[in-house]
A and B are shown apart, each in its own frame.
Chain A
């Protein structure tokens, strides 16, 4: 269980304008500004939940995950993960968690992943029997057989991420912090990683906290989302309800041609690609509009969907901005991301 109360993480950042004069001046007199990367964040995540942690770049996502995994000291507030205070990084805590960062790796670059697995087995004190069992399970879920013996540097990005996940999960952590685990991966590999995370969560009742810029990851994996912007939480709750509140209209798409004026009467036309036509329709008119469209000979392959999560997020951040700007000055940069 993860419990966060009024978490704040502020960074003191040295600031100087460009130019030689400013550089010389900064030797004698340094000016610092305080960046509030995370500012008064509270939430609770129960054991076994899968939660998406969303926000634009510099919102405070990575900082929060680093605080939760013990890499950063909180400036203030209370954080507890399975009853442990993360920044103390006691051995028992480290055995219960894992942090996977899509941008950083723990695999030893010039050796096969099997060597990192052996190292992790030793440092986490995993028994031979447990190691064999976990390895067999991870191998079958991630199809690692052929990869574990190849030098890491010869693996593709996707293969490396699969091996990275295996290395991160060998000690069977019950809390997973996943920071952009699918970054840079192709669609097929993203799906593999997603399915694996869901499977691991269900088999081990593991808590998963995920950040991703790929909204498909979030839609597929996380029934609940926490949205953070400017260091503050702006939404915490059910993903479907968020979509419904922010963009209540359904998106109806189809192939075929309908006269523009007729289309405009049915709903708001939205740009779509792939030769399809899309309109947004209020839920109470959905039956009528779909009935009408299905009656037209030119309309084929009709689909009704929620608006994409990207659009929902864009609207959420846009709606949130004025209040945010009035409350605190926007941070210059997220120092720890």
Chain B
């Protein structure tokens, strides 16, 4: 399971992953349709803010916020938790274990390979951003955009690591996928996906600062629409969570794989 073998095989794994994504394009589109919640919230909040700004958010701010949320969510979501859970439950993980690369490399390739397809969906949203009032809100200077890029990469890795950790819990729990429901409940509330964290009660905002969810979506969105005064702190917290969650995923996997090896499937 050498790192070198994984790196060497990565281009082919990415290419095959893209071929798979294209083969599953119909499912992918259905999947993407499940991420349109920001559009619903956009309709709701822009009507609230039609006459006058709601707290610090004018109509254009809401448009920018939810379009940015749609972009970040589409670029960063994946289904690796279901994939791992299913492979453990059905025992098909065995096939992966017979190959001399770490299974993480395989999952990483599959889900990285889905990004170009997702980007195709995101591009029209970006275009819409520039023809609506959102264009006056979003940051356009190169350094800020670079920070946004880094924060999206961090968000992708954080969601990926979290889902790998949840998926790997299938080694221990028969119905580990119900944890995804719990995760989504918390994500909706604490990531800023439904409502900007700025508009939440102070204590929820405080809690959100210490949990990973904000750095999966709200953080990058705030950077793009210029509402993160200290973008450096957001990025530092985000990448600390990436490291922490990556470690957690690796530890759960290591303990779980021993169990898989011990019990078989």
Across the interface, A119 reaches (CB within 8 A) one of B1, B13, B261, namely B13
How distant is the Cα of A108 from the Cα of B18 in the complex, in angstroms? 13
B99 and A124 form a contact (CB under 8 A): yes
Interface 1/0 per residue, A19-51 and B, CB below 8 Å: 000000000000000000000000000000000
B258 and A71 form a contact (CB under 8 A): no
Q: How many residues of B contact A (CB 8 A)?
A: 29
B19-43 at interface with A (beta carbon < 8 Å): 19-20, 23-24
State whether the Cβ of A150 lies closer than 8 Å to any Cβ in chain B: no
Residues of chain A contacted by B92 (CB below 8 angstroms) = 104
| Min CB–CB distance B195 → chain A (angstroms) | 37
Residues of chain A contacted by B203 (CB below 8 angstroms) = none
Across the interface, A124 reaches (CB within 8 A) one of B16, B95, B100, namely B100
State whether the Cβ of B178 lies closer than 8 Å to any Cβ in chain A: no
A120 and B99 form a contact (CB under 8 A): yes
B263 and A122 form a contact (CB under 8 A): no
| Min CB–CB distance B101 → chain A (angstroms) | 5
Interface 1/0 per residue, B237-265 and A, CB below 8 Å: 00000000000000000000010011111
Interface 1/0 per residue, A96-110 and B, CB below 8 Å: 011101001110101
State whether the Cβ of B204 lies closer than 8 Å to any Cβ in chain A: no
A111 and B20 form a contact (CB under 8 A): yes
State whether the Cβ of A63 lies closer than 8 Å to any Cβ in chain B: yes
State whether the Cβ of B8 lies closer than 8 Å to any Cβ in chain A: yes
A335 and B23 form a contact (CB under 8 A): no
Q: How many residues of A contact B (CB 8 A)?
A: 37
Across the interface, A104 reaches (CB within 8 A) one of B1, B11, B15, B91, namely B91
Given A73-B261, A123-B101: A91 and B5 within 8 A (CB)?
yes
Residues of chain B contacted by A304 (CB below 8 angstroms) = none
| Min CB–CB distance B265 → chain A (angstroms) | 8
Which residues of B are interface residues toward A (Cβ below 8 A)? 1-2, 5, 8-9, 11-13, 15-16, 19-20, 23-24, 91-92, 94-95, 97-101, 258, 261-265
Nearest 9 A/B pairs, CB to CB: A336-B264, A122-B12, A91-B100, A122-B9, A110-B23, A106-B95, A94-B100, A123-B9, A73-B261
